[in-house]
Amino acid sequence: MPFPCHHCASMRVNGTPIHETGCPDAWRDYDRNCRECGCPFRPETSDRAVCDDCIRADEPADPFSGSFMQPQVYKGAAWRIETYNGTETIPDDVVSLAPFTGDEDSAEYSAWLQDAIAKLTDYCEGAIIEVPNAPTAGWLGRMSASGYSDCTDWCLYDSESEAMQDLADHYGNNF
């Protein structure tokens, strides 16, 4: 009983399907050894000499490909607020709060601290314990779903690469 081939008069010999000599589709029925790793694979095209695994190994891995949430990383400054829920990071460009440069024992500091707590409370999950006098410079990073309000908390990093690596380690393709 023949098997279908559009380019030759194929047939079965002892139950094994074979093509006529010179058939341009004969390569489809045989495994090849990968030129890179040596493992056997069934090629998708007649000129293919490398298996799928070796092709994917050459591509840089994107830990966020296909993720609903994508990383947001930028250079800036952030307020590192100590709360009863731990340290919370609030980007400086979110809160209009000027750094305090005067004496911490003055009435000016008490007024500034009251204003700072009032402005920062809306952005903190826990009750505020301590507010620094100035924001800390660095790289801010979080995961965010574009067009949605879904996002993770901001974190402050020393470099862009550290931010991207930490987000990939913690979230990768999980979002």
| Distance between CA atoms of residues 34 and 98, nearest Å | 63
Residue 85 corresponds to which tokens in the numbers above? 């829920």
**φ, ψ (nearest 5 deg) of residue 151:** -165, 160
Domain boundaries, the chain: 11-58, 70-174
pLDDT tens-digit profile of 45-96?
877 888 888 777 655 567 777 778 889 999 999 999 999 999 999 999 999 8
Q: Contact 120/95 with Cβ under 8 angstroms?
A: yes
**φ, ψ (nearest 5 deg) of residue 136:** -100, 135
Q: Contact 149/69 with Cβ under 8 angstroms?
A: no
| Distance between CA atoms of residues 105 and 101, nearest Å | 12
Give the global pTM: 0.61
Q: Is residue 1 very low, low, confident or very high in pLDDT (cuts 50, 70, 90)?
A: very low
**φ, ψ (nearest 5 deg) of residue 143:** -100, 140
DSSP string for residues in 52-119: HHHHHHHSPP-TTTT-SSEEEEEEEEEEEEEETTEEEEEETTTS--PPP-S-TTSHHHHHHHHHHHHH
Q: State the chain's mean pLDDT as an integer.
A: 85
| Distance between CA atoms of residues 172 and 103, nearest Å | 45
